[in-house]
Structure 1
Amino acid sequence: MVSYYEVVRSFSWKEIEKTIDISSLVDHEGVAVIRFSKEGKEQITFQELKDKALRLASYLKHIAGVKKGDVISVLASKKIEQVIVLLASLYIGALYQPLFTAFGPKAIEIRTRDKKPKVLFYQDDQKEKVSEGVPLSKLDELTSYGRLEEIERLSWNDPIILLYTSGSTGLPKGALISKRLLLNTYVYMKYGIGLRENDIFWNGADPGWAYGLYYGIIGPLLFGKTVIFLDEPFDAERTMEFLEENKITNFAWAPTTYRIISRSVKRKYDLRLERASSAGEPLNPEVIKWFKDNYNVIVKDHYGQTEVGMVVYNGWGYDYELKIGSMGLPAPGYEVDIIEENIAVKKTSPGFHFLGYLNNPEKTQEAFRGDWYLTGDVASKDQDGYFWFIGRKDDVTKVSGYRIGPFEVESVLLEHPAILESAVVADEDPIRGHVLHAYIVLKPGYTPSEELKKEIIEFVKSRYSKTVHLERVDFIDKLPKTESGKIQRYLLKKKIS
């Protein structure tokens, strides 16, 4: 395999720009999307997908009056119809906006008030959340208006997606994403995911969020791979069963998924898994060890954001030294550095696709320092150029003079046999400035007690630090998370403020 440094030296954005475009998303043979649910299995070929998308595009443009730059929203889970709407939106130059089905009416209202959708599609069981819209079940009826004759020509800088950030530390912001997302996606699928011709690839993330949309739908389509949907509520045993049944060789999902699987799966599965990737939050070393010990597969940690896509990772598509616990190295074609403690991404890369926050110039301006976009994530960079995550800027604090991020303490906590999940925050303290406070979800079979609290505190003290150790423990039923699965530590801080 070619080394990381050789890939970086020979990398050319121009070569990629020549080979991909919106039309290349469906110019393939075979099955484009396959959906599994409790009702059974359904699928659609690339040819059928293109035909339906062109017909829907014709309806949207000529009947519904959708123009370039208008928003088309979709409130649905993992449905084939979503992919049809996505492509139809791209064909007419509209902005595709996914809405997550766990949203209530207020969350939907927040995400649709900056720019009212010209058309909002919804699946039948979501109707009560919207005041008006078009049922996805009517899609066949809407594709009877003939095919769109000419696809809208879009420049690389034209916006194609409106996707709201998950709001881990505040209200969500509408990120405008340009067509350059295709360039970023191509690079990540090739070098991060390391997608091979014979891979059976499954990204289990929900397409209502960036990772599921960018690399669960657009990424596979770019490479002519089948998009796989499991349209069921998450269950650890069912996920492993699905990996086994479908002979998945290349898998991607969020750290929460891997954590819960490693802490709760009871039986051994016959997996064909060769490559696994995690993104959304740092992946705890204990979880990586579990998958290596039990299935002989390394889960590689990848870093990105809605705004910039995946930009730092332990890639599968090249050879390099893997440093467990590190976020890895900058993606080929990107300049990434540390500025004001932030992970910063240079916007001059042709793959940089963030155009700004919709109707929010102040937040947009705050996010940049000259040509650099500041992510708000604090990290360090070692002498070899590897990045090491510390925490969200709002989560990092000083305890007894030491700078602490929650992730490293949470990783120690996961080594304790009683703990399913944990989140660590810092409480104000008049003497030491702050003390560490853990909120813990116990595994089934364990009961909260003062004795267990003391045991956990001593466990962290012995494994983490005698100087900066855990002071307080609370047991809770579940951690507060964004709809995309990120822990909302700021809500835990409010509990004790």
Structure 2
Amino acid sequence: MSRAVAVLRAVADAPTHGARLADLMASTGLSKPTTHRLAATLVHEGLLAYDPATRLYTLGAFCLSLGRRAGTMPAETATEPDAASVPSLYQRPEYRGDAIPLAHLLCDRHLPGKRSHPAMIHESVSGQTSELSFGRLADYSSRFARVLATIGIRKGDCVAVMLPKGVELIIAALAIWRVGAVYMPLFSTYSASAVNARLESSGVKAIVANRVLVERARKYIKPSTPVFLVEGDHINRIEGRVTQFWSSIYEAEPLAESATYAADDPFIMTYSTKTVEPRYGLFTPVRALAAIEQYMRLGLDVRDEDVFWNMTDQGWEYGIFYGLVGPLLIGSSILFCDGPYDVSQGYRVLSKFRVTNLTAAPSQIKAWWRGDPTTASHQLALRVVTVGGEPLPRDIIAWVTQKLGVPLINQYGHREAGMIIGMKHDPHDPRSLSRVSVGQVAPGFSLVVLDDNGAEQGVGTEGILAIHVRRSPLFWFRAYRKDEAATKARFRFGSAYYIIGDTGHMDADGCVHYSGQASHAISMHKD
């Protein structure tokens, strides 16, 4: 706490235009990683503000509000601000209201300082590298947005995207958000029956795909269904109105104005990947961006100087939230790599691009560990590795922290909430390597333990783990689409608690301990 206060005071004492990270380090005597982490936390708490263009920290809205209050109140009556009168510290103003310019947040606002900066770096299986700058992304997505608008795609319409990682995927997604529509990615390993069931259930108005995935959607595609096919992919005759993706972009004028969303409007639509049937339909609202940004900056600790790589697939939530939306949101480059995960290919990408911040699914880290490419580990530039989805065995934790010599952050979450619990294993902190809990709850979330009647339990008592909704400003889930029974199961004790689906307890330090799965929990992660 004292270190955070020192950073806050350093900003308060700085010139009115703000302070750089180096200034804060000099004023506080703290290391760069510690100063950056504390400053990022204060930004998310509303106590500081940060301008990515100038890289300057200034006092945040909450501090300024307190200053105004102190200046207008007699000293003897000045008190802490009423919680009801102060906007939630976790609800960033750009993610609130009824006119949120999503395409601006994800791309256009970065253009003044990053027009030529890569929004995406693509590495093919053969080792060829290509880039898509923020400027070209803005142009291409604006043109494809015009194409979508011309065929009648409007706000709230669902557009399915069935593409491998590449430039077409990111252009299509941003174009969909420019017209106010809903982006619906489909997992690359879905069978034809799973693809068609999801298309039917969601009522998609258009499909953007390559040949392989269009072939799987034949049952759904009708003569009136618009299909945008990536050039070079030849398909047998289908009933839909087939348009060449890139040709349509080059022939269109950019869309002049992008649509806006309300905070509760959906912008992503997904289904559980664990069933063929389209179950647990999940609309992600725009206000979830606050939780996504927090996880990118605090959970994953993505910094301006990082080379960030999320290896997971873009067909499920962890890849969508933190491999597509998250990097665009904070102006970081997306690193895409073709094909299924391969240890040798993964190591090549890590070395070639000098990746400093890596996040992966447990299965990917296990495969990497089995391949053990540490004979040349000195060539790696890794600073931190994050894994989500399940507790990793001690030998894998030791391999990452000792052989690679970097911290391993093991984190857990749900499709319906994002990442909510994390544990850091740091080679420079021997105590952290022996911790047995799954970690502490992320800021913006409150976790409680309930008994079978829905009553909150004390420290050390086993019970049902649940999110306390009213004390969790970053929790955004409210209901499944067309699945009232599943929704009621999540809120079986009323709207105040979201049932995670696991049992466990919390210790005196606020750390969470799992003891077993109480129900068929819908994990965010797919191993």
Question: Would the TM-score normalized by the shorter structure come out above 0.5?
Answer: yes
8 Å contact 1:8–1:333 — kept in the other structure? no
Following superposition, the deviation at residue 313 of structure 1 comes to 1.8
Paired position in structure 1 for 2:248: 142
1:73 & 1:339 partners in 2: Cα distance?
A: 39
8 Å contact 2:187–2:273 — kept in the other structure? no
Paired position in structure 1 for 2:204: 117
Paired position in structure 1 for 2:137: 49
Deviation digits for residues 282-331 of structure 1 (CA, Å, limit 9, x no counterpart)? 222221111122110122111111111111223699x9984644332111
Following superposition, the deviation at residue 264 of structure 1 comes to 2.9
Gaps of 5+ in 2: 1-33, 47-87, 96-100, 222-226, 232-243, 452-462
1:56 & 1:347 partners in 2: Cα distance?
A: 39
Q: After TM superposition, list the pairs within 5 Å mapping 1:256-271 onto structure 2.
A: 256-265=363-372, 268-269=375-376, 270-271=379-380
Paired position in structure 2 for 1:165: 272
Deviation digits for residues 161-204 of structure 1 (CA, Å, limit 9, x no counterpart)? 11112237997421111002211111001110011111110000
Following superposition, the deviation at residue 66 of structure 1 comes to 1.1
1:121 & 1:309 partners in 2: Cα distance?
A: 26
What count of residue pairs does the alignment treat as equivalent? 399
Please say if 1:362 is aligned against 2:485: yes
Paired position in structure 1 for 2:215: 128
8 Å contact 1:255–1:281 — kept in the other structure? yes
Change (3 A) 1:483 1:378: closer
Structure with higher RCO (Cα < 8 A, 6+ apart)? 1
Q: SS where residue 201 of structure 2 aligns?
A: coil
1:260 & 1:283 partners in 2: Cα distance?
A: 13
Indicate which of 444, 447, 457 corresponds to 1:333: 444
8 Å contact 1:96–1:160 — kept in the other structure? yes
Q: After TM superposition, list the pairs within 5 Å mapping 1:374-389 onto structure 2.
A: 374-389=499-514
Indicate which of 341, 344, 352 corresponds to 2:466: 344
Q: After TM superposition, list the pairs within 5 Å mapping 1:52-71 onto structure 2.
A: 52-61=140-149, 63-71=150-158
Q: SS where residue 132 of structure 2 aligns?
A: strand
Following superposition, the deviation at residue 158 of structure 1 comes to 0.8
8 Å contact 2:347–2:373 — kept in the other structure? no
Following superposition, the deviation at residue 394 of structure 1 comes to 4.1
8 Å contact 1:179–1:353 — kept in the other structure? no
Indicate which of 153, 175, 191 corresponds to 2:282: 175
Following superposition, the deviation at residue 104 of structure 1 comes to 1.0
Following superposition, the deviation at residue 6 of structure 1 comes to 11
* Higher alpha-carbon deviation: 74-83 or 373-382: 373-382
Deviation digits for residues 432-467 of structure 1 (CA, Å, limit 9, x no counterpart)? xxxxxxxxxxxxxxxxxxxxxxxxxxxxxxxxxxxx
Q: SS where residue 339 of structure 2 aligns?
A: coil
Please say if 1:32 is aligned against 2:155: no
1:218 & 1:325 partners in 2: Cα distance?
A: 32
Please say if 1:304 is aligned against 2:413: yes
Change (3 A) 1:71 1:299: same
Indicate which of 395, 399, 408 corresponds to 1:290: 399
Q: SS where residue 306 of structure 2 aligns?
A: coil
1:10 & 1:95 partners in 2: Cα distance?
A: 27
2:414 & 2:380 partners in 1: Cα distance?
A: 30
> Percent same amino acid at aligned positions?
26
8 Å contact 1:285–1:324 — kept in the other structure? no
Following superposition, the deviation at residue 14 of structure 1 comes to 4.8
Change (3 A) 1:50 1:325: farther
Q: After TM superposition, list the pairs within 5 Å mapping 1:417-456 onto structure 2.
A: none
Paired position in structure 2 for 1:469: none
- The two structures have a TM-score, normalised by structure 1, of 0.74
2:518 & 2:275 partners in 1: Cα distance?
A: 11
8 Å contact 2:196–2:216 — kept in the other structure? no
Change (3 A) 1:172 1:360: closer
Q: After TM superposition, list the pairs within 5 Å mapping 1:233-248 onto structure 2.
A: 233-248=340-355
8 Å contact 2:310–2:359 — kept in the other structure? yes
Indicate which of 161, 165, 168 corresponds to 1:81: 168
Change (3 A) 1:66 1:14: farther
Q: SS where residue 479 of structure 2 aligns?
A: strand
Amino acid at match of 2:204: P
* Higher alpha-carbon deviation: 295-304 or 119-128: 119-128
8 Å contact 1:8–1:332 — kept in the other structure? no
Q: SS where residue 357 of structure 1 aligns?
A: coil
8 Å contact 1:185–1:219 — kept in the other structure? yes
Q: SS where residue 502 of structure 2 aligns?
A: strand
8 Å contact 2:269–2:284 — kept in the other structure? yes
Amino acid at match of 1:57: A
Paired position in structure 2 for 1:18: 93
8 Å contact 2:122–2:335 — kept in the other structure? yes
Deviation digits for residues 113-152 of structure 1 (CA, Å, limit 9, x no counterpart)? 2221101111123231012332133322222332222222
1:219 & 1:6 partners in 2: Cα distance?
A: 16
2:268 & 2:518 partners in 1: Cα distance?
A: 27
Indicate which of 177, 187, 207 corresponds to 2:314: 207
Deviation digits for residues 250-302 of structure 1 (CA, Å, limit 9, x no counterpart)? 00011111112112335523211111101122222221111122110122111
2:516 & 2:178 partners in 1: Cα distance?
A: 39
8 Å contact 2:423–2:438 — kept in the other structure? yes
1:113 & 1:102 partners in 2: Cα distance?
A: 18
* Higher alpha-carbon deviation: 120-129 or 264-273: 264-273
Amino acid at match of 1:128: E
Deviation digits for residues 194-223 of structure 1 (CA, Å, limit 9, x no counterpart)? 111111100000111111110011111111
Please say if 1:191 is aligned against 2:225: no
Paired position in structure 1 for 2:496: 371
Deviation digits for residues 359-393 of structure 1 (CA, Å, limit 9, x no counterpart)? 11121122113222112133332111111233432
Paired position in structure 2 for 1:280: 389
8 Å contact 1:189–1:195 — kept in the other structure? yes
* Higher alpha-carbon deviation: 2-11 or 228-237: 2-11
1:60 & 1:316 partners in 2: Cα distance?
A: 47
Following superposition, the deviation at residue 336 of structure 1 comes to 2.0
1:5 & 1:378 partners in 2: Cα distance?
A: 35
Please say if 1:94 is aligned against 2:181: yes
Paired position in structure 2 for 1:466: none
Change (3 A) 1:55 1:339: farther
Higher helix share: 2
